[in-house]
Amino acid sequence: MSTNNTKTVERLADPSRRRFFRGRVKTKHELRLPWVINEAVFTSGCTQCQDCISSCESNIIVKDEDGFPKIDFSLGECTFCNKCIESCEQPLFSGVFTEENTLKNKKAWPVTLEISDKCLAKNNIYCQSCRDECETSVIKFNYLNSSIPQPSLNDLDCTQCGACIKSCPQDAIAFNFDQTTV
Ligand code: SF4
Ligand code: SF4
Ligand code: SF4
């Protein structure tokens, strides 16, 4: 193989370059590891070593279609044990270890939890499974004008653990990316 060809093969071994050469543009946002700086920093710096995947005590980190790790809350909740972050040798996170005070005030992901119209209670069928899973009592039920108690969220108190997502029999709960997220 010529020197030029060898260099090309070496460059394409870089995951972010492979994606570029395939001409693929991601339109779907993925939930990466908690507190990553942003998607661009993550996908350009992540080597796809998979150390974070094997380190997760909840087994909720999986590979996306391009081989990058993402969180799948349908598999369970995030305990914020930080093992994924500690296992990563790349500078993908924003001051997690050095700026503890900043971290406490910063959301792990730029997302908001929402309950869709697929919710059983919203369709007048009794269900409160999500409330029973939420340790911080973020999800409350009130009758409002319905004969069945209706769920409401106090997003400010949500820890983003995702425990309620797996509990929902209707797959009605999801984290949606904030509008300002690029
Ligand atoms: S440990 Fe870091 S570099 Fe390795 S796959 Fe996870 S995020 Fe990427
Ligand atoms: S678990 Fe799902 S279906 Fe049941 S009340 Fe909560 S959001 Fe609605
Ligand atoms: S993601 Fe938020 S609402 Fe859902 S269980 Fe965790 S703290 Fe409660």
Look at residue 14 and tell me if it is in a domain.
yes
Indicate the number of domains in the chain: 2
What are the residue ranges of helices labelled H in 60-136?
A: 83-87, 100-104, 129-133
Spatial distance between the Cα atoms of 1 and 21, rounded to a whole number of angstroms: 20
Domain that holds residue 118: 111-177
For a mutational test of ligand 3's pocket, the pick from 119, 164, 168, i.e. the residue with the most ligand atoms closer than 8 A to its C-beta, is 164
33 and 122 in a single domain? The answer is no
Asked if residue 134 has its Cβ within 6 Å of ligand 3, the reply is yes
Q: Percentage of residues in the chain with pLDDT exceeding 70?
A: 77
Q: Are residues 39 and 103 in the same domain?
A: yes
**64 and 79, same domain (yes or no):** yes
Domain end call among 53, 81, 110? 110
Segment 145-161, tens digit of pLDDT: 899 999 999 988 999 99
Query: Looking at the domain assignment, is residue 182 inside a domain?
Result: no
**In this predicted model, what pLDDT tens digit does every residue of 18-70 receive, in sequence order?**
454 444 555 578 999 998 988 999 999 999 999 999 999 999 999 999 999 99
Torsion over CA of 67, 70, 75 and 81, rounded to 10 degrees? 120
Mean pLDDT across 128-137: 96
Question: How many beta carbons lie within 10 A of that of residue 180, not counting itself?
Answer: 6
Pocket test for ligand 1, best of 54, 92, 96 (most atoms within 8 A of CB): 92
Q: Where residue 124 sits, what CATH number does that domain have?
A: 3.30.70.20
